[in-house]
Amino acid sequence: MEFTTFIKLFIDLLMLAVIWVLIYLGILAFLPGRFKRYFSFFIVIICSMMGGFISYKTIHDGYYYFPLGNFGILGELDLKVDFLSAIFLLMINLITLCTSLYAVGFLKKFTGDNVALNLHLFAFNCLHITMLLLCMVDNLLIFIILWEVMSFASFVLIIFDFEKGKNLKSAINYLLQMHIGVVFLTVALIILEQKTGHITFSGLKEYFATQPNFWMFLLFFLGFGFKMSFVPLHTWAAENYSIAPPHAAALMSGVMKKLGFYGLIRVLMSIQSDFQIIGIFLLLIGLLSGLYGIISSIMQKDLKKTLAYSSIENVGIISIGLGMSFLGYAIKDYALAFLGMSGALLHIFNHALFKSLLFLSAGDVEYSTSTTNINELGGLFKKMPYTGVLFLIGSLSICGLPPFNGFISEFLLYNGIFEGLNATNVIAEVLLLVSLIILSLLGGLSIYNYTKAFGLTFLGTPRSSKVTDTGDVPWKMIAAQAIIVIVIISVDLFPGIFIQAVNKVITDFTHQAPIFSQKSFDAAQNLGFVSLVFLGIILAVFGLRTLLTYRNKSSYDATWGCGYVGTDTNIQYTSNSYSEYFTKLAEPMVSIKTNYHPIDPNDIFPQNRNYEATAHDIIQKKWIIKPVIIMYQIIKRFAVIQTGQTQYYILYGFLFIIILFVLTFLNVIK
């Protein structure tokens, strides 16, 4: 195809996209405010049905291929869907449907601002469609273009409340870091095209067969790593998840972040060598991200920031599973390879479920109280019982406790580690032993973290007036979370179905996977049966209790207070006091800024004082903010030349011409 033809085709495609955007925005503009949310939800349903059909065809036939033709410079544009794509398509559709239903209820009070609402709903639908397409294209150039569109759509979602300057600043920081990631992806694409003449994921196998694997993998890792928020590429995450609307934060953390893993796994499926160094790298970066994420999460006093840093911890757990898998390939321990990969894939799906649920539940709290500051909450369980139960289920799931889904994926990872400890490779055994210790530590700290998050938010007594006049949220918001809960419990009760799904992906890695899949299938089936019995006993006990107390009226009164019942709610634990002793242990990894004027010993009648401690991300503070400030101070010195007077700018041009003349005369330039 000639270049002029390509330009014409590009302009035609661009015009077509613009026309569809204008039609969509035109419909939104003329729709009454109360119908805009339902129109967006309708678009989500249509797209989910199409994505669901493609997933069904893939699972039924084993592969789905739809050729779009050759587009010259862009190459072949075909839709290719395999089992890996099908799993991600199902995950995207499920979470997007639930978050869209949630948005119908949450955005009800924002129908007055039509412009902001129109852009927000458009960005939401655009993000959904882009994520679906990302899982179906093989062309890397188109993949990067869609990646950019996805980043910009999520940027628009984040700045829904753009009138706050801090929100806009955080969102621009996010967009900037996403562009840095695209630079690494673009460099990888250029190298791939120069070495092989291909610009597709399929062409990676040809490159890896003849070239060093680790350095190309590292480029892709850095490109996708910003989206996945690996430490130290995570500094955008906490602020943006905390300012984004809850349905947007749930979609970004639950699904969009996982598309980084989708791209990374696509690359890993083509790796031909350097298995050991790649496995060690993924293990170490996973251990670092897991520890840093959970420690930073415990330090937070904002509920949404707590969830954001907890996402970084779970990204680390997934990376540990991938590292275990490649370490298994390196030492030819296929049981370790299978269990590590299956645990990682299943944890990607599980994390999408319980983290979306937690962000939506945190959104309920924000909707009813207008705050997510834990120190201003407390006693919400009586006011918002449905939200309290939903948040509790999400907390138990993310802590890996039965009978919830996080238990199954972590069981596979632990099982893989114990399998690998029987290996004869000393390096592998040491790394796996360290991984076992760190994973156990992460589990304990996660329980500690969510005990704080749930207990201080929903239990105790209200710490501020924001809690006193609250109630549960509209039923649409509760229903969206209830759907996720059903899937969460089904993963633990019927794990064989989900393990068989990820097994089909792992078969592309090793032909011996079916042997180990049967062992894991049997073990998981037993765990599912035990969980089913356990859940049945709980339901039976509560049913019997309800039956016996049905005719008795319940009354509520203050509990016994050891002879004294205090009236000051400030004597309860706060987020800072709850994690005080842990803060001292974790101080090298976090930066704590305190605001307190100490009492002088000679001060007989001291004034009232407030103590406030805020945790700052030490990586962001020392390696991002500080260098930026230094750079700004340097650039600021050059501002003196901007006088605003025309004669000075003419003089600058005249001096530039003289400098060029002198350099030419001296043969410095020709």
Instruction: Write down the pLDDT at residue 620.
Output: 75
Residue 116 makes CB contacts below 8 A (sequence gap 6+) with: 110, 160, 162
Among 90-94, 302-306, 416-420, name the one with the lowest average pLDDT. Answer: 416-420
Instruction: Write down the pLDDT at residue 73.
Output: 53
Q: Where are the domains of the chain?
A: 24-273, 300-545, 617-670
Q: Report the DSSP beta bridge partners of residue 137.
A: 79
Residue 367 makes CB contacts below 8 A (sequence gap 6+) with: 106, 246, 473, 477
pLDDT single digits (tens) 237-256: 988 999 999 999 999 999 99
Of 443, 255, 276, 265, which is closest to residue 349 (Cα–Cα)?
Answer: 255
Return the H-helix or E-strand segment holding 616: strand 612-616
Three-class DSSP category at 612 = strand
Q: Verify cis geometry, omega within 30 degrees of 0, for the bond prior to 232.
A: yes
Q: Find which of 24-33, 536-545, 622-631 is predicted with most confidence, using mean pLDDT.
A: 536-545
CB 101 within 8 A of CB 476: yes
d(CA 519, CA 415): 11
CB 148 within 8 A of CB 182: yes
Three-class DSSP category at 592 = strand
Q: What is the mean pLDDT of residues 631-659?
A: 72
Per-residue pLDDT band at 258 (split at 50, 70, 90): very high
Q: What is the mean pLDDT of residues 399-406?
A: 85
Statement: residue 445 has pLDDT above 80: yes
Instruction: Write down the pLDDT at residue 36.
Output: 86
Radius of gyration of the chain (CA): 27
CB 250 within 8 A of CB 355: yes
pLDDT single digits (tens) 114-128: 778 888 998 999 999
Q: What angle do CA 281, 286, 290 make, to 5 degrees?
A: 155
Statement: residue 605 has pLDDT above 50: yes
pLDDT single digits (tens) 516-543: 556 666 777 777 777 778 888 888 888 8
Instruction: Write down the pLDDT at residue 82.
Output: 86
CB 339 within 8 A of CB 416: yes
Among 72-81, 172-181, 397-406, 531-540, name the one with the lowest average pLDDT. Answer: 72-81
d(CA 454, CA 392): 7
Whole-angstrom CA distances from 422 to 142, 434, 534 are 44, 15, 33
Specify the residue for token string 């805020």: 614
Per-residue pLDDT band at 463 (split at 50, 70, 90): confident
Statement: residue 9 has pLDDT above 60: no
Specify the residue for token string 């899937």: 487
pLDDT single digits (tens) 312-355: 999 999 999 999 999 988 888 888 888 899 899 999 999 999 99
Instruction: Write down the pLDDT at residue 1.
Output: 42
Per-residue pLDDT band at 79 (split at 50, 70, 90): confident
Instruction: Write down the pLDDT at residue 264.
Output: 95
Statement: residue 486 has pLDDT above 70: yes
Structure tokens at 589: 């990894």
